[in-house]
């Protein structure tokens, strides 16, 4: 399955590649053939990047799941205005990861805070505070948490379909970040962390923590 936001990127590339293929068949131009193959490779890469695989959401009631595919690059204690004393788990998504973002735990959206910013490498901790980012604060009957989409060195667009007051469920798709990025999850310090630095996680499937 292809994510909806990717269609308007994939279709123009497809039409360009298709038209070039016709001219390539009618011409002996080496340059035209090179341009055709470049457009075909870009078309295949765009399909790969905008893939949206289904995920088996864990049915454990106390499990907090990963909001993104990627590598755990930071696990830090921190104080957050919404969560209070908590832990931040940062997940770096390379170009080759699935870039769909998912809800880690059910709740109600209390705040959506988008900030413009810089485009530093997303695997660096400073990106959490200086880069373009979109922070979602969520509350439920058990605890509060936040998920923050952070644009990376190449990423220039954050996509999110959440608004204040939305009731959301664990595993729901809620957005994506274009071409390499990072997602920060801040959860209460009482949560038992189930991942370590360097772990590879899958959005919607991997368990990040357990509510005690």
User: What amino acid positions are annotated as catalytic residues?
Assistant: 181
Mean pLDDT of the region 78-88: 94
Where are the domains positioned within the chain? 4-49, 63-210
Residue with tokens 């590649």: 17
- Please state whether beta strands 107-115 and 133-139 pair in parallel, antiparallel, or not at all (unpaired): antiparallel
Query: What's the Cα-to-Cα distance from 97 to each of 37, 82, 194, rounded to whole Å?
Result: 24, 29, 21
Using CA atoms of 128, 136, 7, 37 in order, give the dihedral in degrees to the nearest 10. 10
Residue 65 Cα to chain centre, angstroms: 13
* SS3 at position 203: coil
Q: Which of 183, 204, 76 is nearest to 135 (CA)?
A: 183
Top CATH class, 63-210 = mainly beta
Record the pTM.
0.82
Mean pLDDT of the region 114-138: 72
The answer to whether 13 and 46 are in contact (CB under 8 A) is yes
Amino acid 4: pLDDT: 76
pLDDT in tens, 127-141: 556 678 899 999 998
> What angle is formed at CA 150 by the lines to CA 205 and CA 39, rounded to 5 degrees?
85
């Amino acid at each position: 399955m292809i994510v909806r936001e990717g269609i308007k990127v994939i279709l123009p590339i497809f039409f360009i590649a298709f038209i070039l293929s016709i001219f390539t068949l009618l011409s002996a131009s080496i340059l035209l053939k090179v341009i055709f193959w470049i457009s075909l490779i870009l078309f295949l890469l765009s399909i790969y990047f905008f893939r949206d695989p289904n995920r088996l959401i864990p049915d454990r009631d106390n499990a907090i799941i990963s909001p993104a595919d990627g590598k755990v690059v930071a696990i830090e204690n921190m104080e957050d205005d919404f969560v209070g004393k908590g832990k931040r788990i940062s997940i770096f998504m390379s170009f080759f990861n699935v870039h769909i973002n998912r809800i880690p735990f059910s709740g109600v959206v209390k705040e959506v805070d988008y900030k413009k910013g810089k485009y530093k490498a997303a695997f660096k901790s400073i990106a959490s505070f200086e880069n373009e980012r979109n922070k979602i604060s969520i509350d439920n009957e058990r605890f509060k948490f936040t998920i923050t989409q952070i644009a990376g060195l190449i990423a220039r667009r954050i996509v999110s379909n959440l608004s204040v007051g939305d009731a959301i469920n664990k595993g729901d798709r809620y957005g994506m970040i274009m071409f390499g990025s990072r997602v920060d999850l801040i959860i209460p310090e009482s949560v038992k962390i189930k991942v370590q630095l360097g772990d590879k996680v899958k959005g919607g499937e991997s368990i990040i923590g357990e509510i005690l």
